[in-house]
A and B are shown apart, each in its own frame.
Chain A
Amino acid sequence: MNNFKDLYKKREFAVFSLLVLLVVAVGIVNPVFLKVDTLNGVLDNSLILVLIALGEMFVLLTSGIDVSLGAITGLSAVVAGLSLNAGISYPVSIIYALGAALAAGMFNGFGVTVLEVPPIIMTLGTMGALRGLMYIITGGSWIDTIPIGFKSMSGITFLGISVFAWIVIALAVFLTVLVKKVRAARIFYYIGDNEEGAFFMGVSVKKGLFVAYSLAGLFAGLAGIVFVSRIGFIPMQTGSGQELRAIAACVLGGVSLSGGVGIPLSALVGGLFLTTIDSVLVFLKVPAFWNDAIAGAILIIVVLLDFRVRMLINEREKQERLKYVKRDRQKTGVLQ
């Protein structure tokens, strides 16, 4: 029974199995879906969401939340686009974009740790401010003259899979190893699992929180760069609403909003799952406008199932313990 409990906690595997099942099932209904190009397309479409979800995960691990990541993605895209159009070299443009995103993340971290503003308020405020800032620095017009060279970066493939996809997957795997093996990277788990206990054991909680929000900003920045290269133009609503999809991806992948649970692979699997749902409907001949309804329903069903299983496990443990207590009482009586 305990092993069952451990296994169920690894939700990223359960959702991954579900994802494979879904792909196979859709493939049976419509074999076109199983073509390499189709699956590659799904993978490429998921990259932006996965990157934002990776950043969001660090914040969620600390039992915080960041709703400004979509806006940071937009900011990063705008900074990259303007820099490129100003004739700045690719690497420097990327550094500018990432720098802006990191600064936004650090601003969130400052608000949460120094001003002690609750995370949802702090990041909501930043979200509004950054969206406005995007308009200010662009004058409100789309950026659609991205250099061809920058756009073609997203087309480079290696072993049939785009380099961007390789990078994102490698990043997710690397981060998973990092947070599992490196002591300093465990701090997010300590804070989220038992903040008081962490403080008691000498963990610097504020430092951990600051780093988490900064990292989240940085990853949203990466997402912005992928956006510029893949999409090739930057509308004002770039990244809009992506933070909520990223949170949904994390939750689907097994990250708990109460903190301390989840790994970077959760974000990858959850992001892939949401993107796949968006793609499969077309192949099942269901109109695409039902995408969100199905994604929302699946999210609710997954968390409700999770809740039921937890309740069952708790109930069983309680009964088990009661049985022990009763057996003890019968055996020994109250007084020895």
Chain B
Amino acid sequence: MIHGEKIPDSEMRKDLVELNGIWKSFNGVAVLRGVNLDLKSGEIHALLGGNGSGKSTLMKILSGIYRKNAGTIRISGEECNFLNPSQAHESGIYLVPQEPKIFPNLSIEENIIIGTSYTLGSKTEEIKKMGQQLGFSESLSRPAGILSIAGQQLLEILRGLLRNVKILILDEPTSTLTFREVESLFKQLRNLKNQGIGVFFISHRINEILEIADRVSVLRDGNFVLDKPVAQLNETTLINAMLPDDRISKKIEETSQKKIAEGLAPLLKIRNLTGEAFNGISFSVMPGEIVGLAGVVGAGRTELAEGIVGIDKNVTGEVIIGNESFSQRSPGRSRKKGIVYVPEDRAAHGIFLDLQNLYTTSSSILSEMGKLFISNKKERQLGEYFIKKLGIKTNGPKQISRTLSGGNQQKIVISRAMACNPKVIILDEPTRGVDAEAREDVYDIIKSLIDLDVGILLISSDLEEVIRLSDRILVMYRGEIIEELSKDESTIERVTSGAFGVAG
């Protein structure tokens, strides 16, 4: 609004980025409530916060992907208002997304210059030099599809550098990398920093943040609650900053009240299960028990669940149901054995959005819907039964699922799992993208399931939710269970510490 305003020279000039009073809401829900943030040149500024705290939203506003509702953005002292990513690129801002946008069949060089006005070959030497500085050794003429995720991220960084980036934003760059790759990435970040580039670094891993960052800001409920140089911080101070202020006074409501009978055999036993994203996992689930699987995004929980039900077949170790080892697993065979999985990504894996509600509900038990033909009546009754039982707000079983709200879609997905009459349900982020009212309904559903002695493996990034519901919590970090907490031991501090890689 005050375009071209003179900025006092002294210290402001060093500020690459200055965000003031940024507001952003989606559907009337405020995600950012007037946040302030700055970045100096040659600084690595880490952003930390729980799920949905608004870090990514803030960075997307800065890089022109989202539009802010209120507040000012200054880049090198000048007020900016980005309408799209290219405008942000022109101002020297480049966001490296979690999943790099590459053209797999085109050469690496072409991937880097795409969208600029440079011709192929005109910038080869420059890119080579920048690549060398970054430790990027791959030949530029090879197709980008051969690159590992780490390589693809470096490619994205090179895209930024070629556009003379001054501000680099990395959104959880390490979540899919191996240790070796993380080390090399960090080396490159330090290099960039020495060239005067400012870096925003979003991560869920506290030890990595302490290793690489100069300054850390913690975002909670749409506001920054901490902004300090890393020298003044340690694991405990960071964990504490992420926790709600009222954590001591607020007693987490007990939902699970069922007493688990002594001497029962476990429904499901996992022994030394190992896959690409998880390692040596062992645990068991008892009848009527809720086992929470806590951790941050990328800890390997979804991959573990997919390994258990046989969606991912490249898994070693044992899944034992009753007393029988269950090998050659597939979703269909798992259902027959009594294990069903409610997936994390509802739209992609859980629901048939363009079909009637009851088509999702009955999809796993079509063979039980009639002898030769699907009985209309039987199927409709099934749909109506669950609509009533789960309190699904819909015109009826024949409504197209796409027109339902997120919470009601989630209930449809759960109805599919319940229709299988399972012994164990694996719920993966059952309340993500679900409104508050439906969330309570989902909790009630879970309660009704354990009353029926169904065992539940609950995967959630909402740590409060895990603690509130679970009888026992397994905390996963980088593919391994690093802590097992009983109901009494499960405090939000301990679970958070574990989830962020700080063993208690």
Contact = CB atoms under 8 A, between A and B. Distances in A.
A and B found bound together: yes
Interface residues of B, number: 32
Given A189-B106, A334-B479, A9 B101 contact: no
B250 interface: no
B485 interface: no
B120 interface: yes
B73 to A, nearest CB: 21
Contacts, number: 77
Contacts of B105: 9, 189, 193, 256, 260-261
Interface stretch (A223-231, A298-306, A319-327): A319-327
Given A193-B104, A200-B85, A335-B501, A329 B119 contact: no
A91 interface: no
B114 interface: yes
B478 interface: yes
B101 to A, nearest CB: 4
B209 to A, nearest CB: 12
A189 B178 CA distance: 32
Contact of A194 (B104, B180, B479): B104
Nearest to A3: B142
Given A203-B115, A324-B180, A328-B179, A9 B143 contact: yes
A261 B104 CA distance: 10
Q: Is the interface of A mostly helix, strand, loop or mixed?
A: helix
Interface string B154-179: 00000000000000000000000011
B91 interface: no
Contacts of B478: 334
A202 B101 contact: no
Contacts of A335: 207, 477, 482, 501, 503
B140 interface: no
B86 A324 contact: no
Contact of B103 (A9, A260, A328, A331): A260
Contacts of A196: 101
12 contacts: A181-B120, A186-B120, A189-B105, A197-B102, A201-B101, A260-B103, A260-B105, A260-B106, A261-B105, A329-B479, A334-B478, A335-B501
Interface of A: 2, 5-6, 9, 181, 183, 186, 189-190, 193-194, 196-198, 200-203, 256, 260-261, 318, 321-322, 324-325, 328-329, 331-332, 334-336
Given A193-B106, A201-B114, A335-B482, 19 more contacts: A2-B142, A5-B146, A6-B142, A6-B143, A6-B146, A181-B121, A186-B120, A194-B101, A194-B103, A194-B104, A196-B101, A197-B101, A256-B105, A331-B179, A335-B207, A335-B477, A335-B501, A335-B503, A336-B207
